[in-house]
A = this chain, B = another copy of it.
Amino acid sequence: MADLSRLSLNTITVREQWSLAQCIEGCARHGIPAIGPWRDKLQEMGVAAAARQIRDAGLQVSGLCRGGMFHLPDAIADNRRAIDEAAAIGAPCLVMVCGGLPPGSKDLAGARRRVEDGLAEILPQARAAGVTIALEPLHPMTCADRSVLSTTAQALEMAERLGEGVGLALDVYHIWWDPDLAPSVRRAAGRIAAFHVCDWLVPTQDLVLDRGMIGDGVIDVPGIRALMEGAGYAGLIEVEIMSAQDWWRRDPDEVLRVVKARFAPMC
């Protein structure tokens, strides 16, 4: 029997098909032991109701997606709400997509400072809530509009400067290409708070919404998983697939069956 004990479903994988309540029920029915919700679906369901149903279904929570976006005007207040939501559903970490350049700006160094300042501002609340702030380096193709944190080493250095309560969320999609990946992950030992998997398709049709199912692309997922384990990460592994033209159009039970079939040998 395939070992699914580390599998977590990131709910965006079936975003177009299922509500959060349906995701929770689906995970329980498919024997997927953990879930990683997105905030829009969580808010839609209601945080208290979601927390109760997740607990009643016996699911673990791998993390909450997502905080960050410090280039937007209301970022601090929104991140404070996100920390509360993460704590309410028992999420060990809040995954941070830290934000890009403010509208009209070309000041990349300034945007990076703004991210770090924003993180420092919300960090005391996160520490008090017991929610790890998990910095997710995003693929450099998202630098302008989503994340000025582009590499594992860069995110790690920021995490180290910020100190206790700050870790990394590492997604194979964002980091697989990095020539410094292996040494960076080794250096991140003790700081890895989340690990996400999917695959890079060739060709890739869209910079955000064309991720592939594990095994359908070119990423050496077992190799990167081994790097994570070498750095001591033994936690949950989230499958997170944003796929507007393919997986979001399929029967969600089929999606979960394929996730399970691909997860066991690859992850």
Contacts and interface: CB of A to CB of B under 8 A. Distances in A.
Interface of A: 101, 105-108, 112, 139-141, 143-145, 148, 150-151, 153-154, 176-179, 200, 202-204, 207, 217-220, 223
Given A101-B218, A141-B139, A176 B108 contact: yes
Given A202-B145, A203-B145, A207-B207, A177 B220 contact: no
Given A106-B219, A112-B179, A144-B217, 15 more contacts: A108-B176, A108-B177, A108-B220, A139-B140, A140-B177, A141-B141, A141-B207, A144-B202, A145-B202, A150-B177, A150-B178, A150-B179, A151-B179, A204-B207, A207-B207
Contact of A220 (B106, B141, B154, B203): B106
Nearest to A105: B218
Contacts of A219: 106
Binding site of A, secondary structure by majority: helix, strand, loop or mixed? loop
A199 B153 CA distance: 26
Contacts of A223: 106
B200 A144 contact: yes
Contacts of A140: 139-141, 177-178
Copies of the chain in the assembly: 2
Contacts of A112: 179
Contact of A106 (B101, B108, B218): B218
B154 A107 contact: no
Nearest to A104: B218
Contacts of A176: 108, 143
25 contacts: A105-B218, A106-B219, A106-B220, A106-B223, A108-B176, A108-B220, A139-B141, A140-B140, A140-B177, A140-B178, A141-B141, A141-B207, A143-B177, A144-B177, A144-B200, A144-B202, A144-B218, A145-B202, A145-B203, A148-B177, A150-B177, A150-B178, A150-B179, A203-B207, A204-B207
A153 B184 CA distance: 15
Q: Which of A101, A140, A154 has the most CB of B within 10 A?
A: A140
A217 B200 CA distance: 26
A106 to B, nearest CB: 4
Contacts of A203: 145, 207
